[in-house]
Amino acid sequence: MNVLIIGASRGIGFEFVRQYRAAGAHITATAREEAALARLREHGARALRLDVADAGSVSGLAWLIDGERFDVVVVNAGVFGPRTSGLEAPTVADFDVVMHTNVLGPMRLLPQIAEALAPGARVAIMSSQMGALAGRSNPASWLYRASKAAVNSVMKDAALALAGKATVISFHPGWVRTDMGGAQADIDTSTSIAGMRTVLASVKPGDTGSFFNYDGQRLDW
């Protein structure tokens, strides 16, 4: 199996690398810093430098993966942005970092990745239940929520554009103990990624455009 993980320096992305390598997959993984790239190489991945919020960096991806045919792609890189509780207006700088990383990044990456998919490939975008409008009862961190609602729309359009070529889904990985999720989160990365790998192994073309919890449960928008 040939796997591409975008945003793999730590947390959820790194655990995808660790588990897919343990399962014998060939991995290409991206990070921004040299130390993270070296750690990915130590773990047997082909490591590529990529900043998803940098247009020049993303535009170089296509030739770096030219000739590859990925069976699984995980677009994982993301930032949380300001932790707000109500209607605190974001600064332009915060808005740009969160939206450029979580939304514009995938919109620039997906066209390049589309050229490097194996027949029947599975593409997962790391979203969040915090982006769901259904059942929302708390406005905390509304900039992050808006970015994940937007990336679910991006996922849906990618699913339509790649119909017949790839199954495209988004995930809520659970509330996971990472730098972003914090020490109080519900589950560890091992549980979250094991669940998502099981979902990725079992999704069918008819599932394209769906939003899944890490345990395989379908989520409302």
Ligand X SMILES: NC(=O)c1ccc[n+]([C@@H]2O[C@H](COP(=O)([O-])OP(=O)(O)OC[C@H]3O[C@@H](n4cnc5c(N)ncnc54)[C@H](OP(=O)(O)O)[C@@H]3O)[C@@H](O)[C@H]2O)c1
Contact with ligand X (CB under 6 A) among 3, 5, 12, 132:
12
Side-by-side strand order, sheet with 211-213 = 46-49, 26-31, 2-6, 70-75, 117-126, 166-172, 211-213
CB of 164 to ligand X, least distance (A): 27
Instruction: Give the contact letters, 161-200, x = binds to ligand X (CB under 6 A), - = no.
Output: -----------xx-xx-xxxx---x---------------
Q: State which of positions 39-58 bind ligand X (CB under 6 A).
A: 50-53
CB of 75 to ligand X, least distance (A): 8
Q: Are 181 and 191 in contact (CB under 8 A)?
A: no
Q: Give the CA dihedral 78, 211, 165, 30, nearest 10 degrees.
A: 20
Q: Which residue in 35, 23, 12, 205 sits closest to 127, CA to CA?
A: 12
Contact with ligand X (CB under 6 A) among 2, 76, 167, 170:
76
Kindly list the residues in this chain that would bind ligand X in the complex (CB under 6 A): 7, 9-13, 31-33, 36, 50-53, 76-79, 101, 126, 128, 172-173, 175-176, 178-181, 185
